[in-house]
Structure 1
Amino acid sequence: MSNASVSNSASRNATSVERKGDRELVVTRTFDAPVHLVFKAWSTPDLFKSWWVPKSAGMSIVSCEMDIRTGGTYRLVFRHPSFDQPMAFFGTYQDVTPNQRMVWTNEESDQGALTTVTFEERAGKTFVTLHELYPSEAARDEAIVGSAEGLPEQFAQLDELLESQS
Structure 2
Amino acid sequence: MTKEAIRLKILPQKIGVLVWRVKQMRIPVRVELDKRGVDLDSVLCLVCEIDLDTVERIFLHCSFAKDLWARFFRWWSINRPLYSCLDHMFNGDIGSSKSKLWQVIEWVCGYLIRRNRNLTLFQRKKGSGLMTLNEVQIKAFEWISRRSRKSIVEWNQCLINLSTFDDHG
Which range, TM-score by smaller chain? 0.3 to 0.5
**Which structure shows the bigger proportion of residues in helix conformation?**
2
The two structures have a TM-score, normalised by structure 2, of 0.34
**Which structure shows the bigger proportion of residues in strand conformation?**
1
The one of the two structures with greater contact order (alpha-carbon pairs below 8 A, sep at least 6) is 1
The two structures have a TM-score, normalised by structure 1, of 0.34
Structure whose alpha-carbon radius of gyration is higher: 2
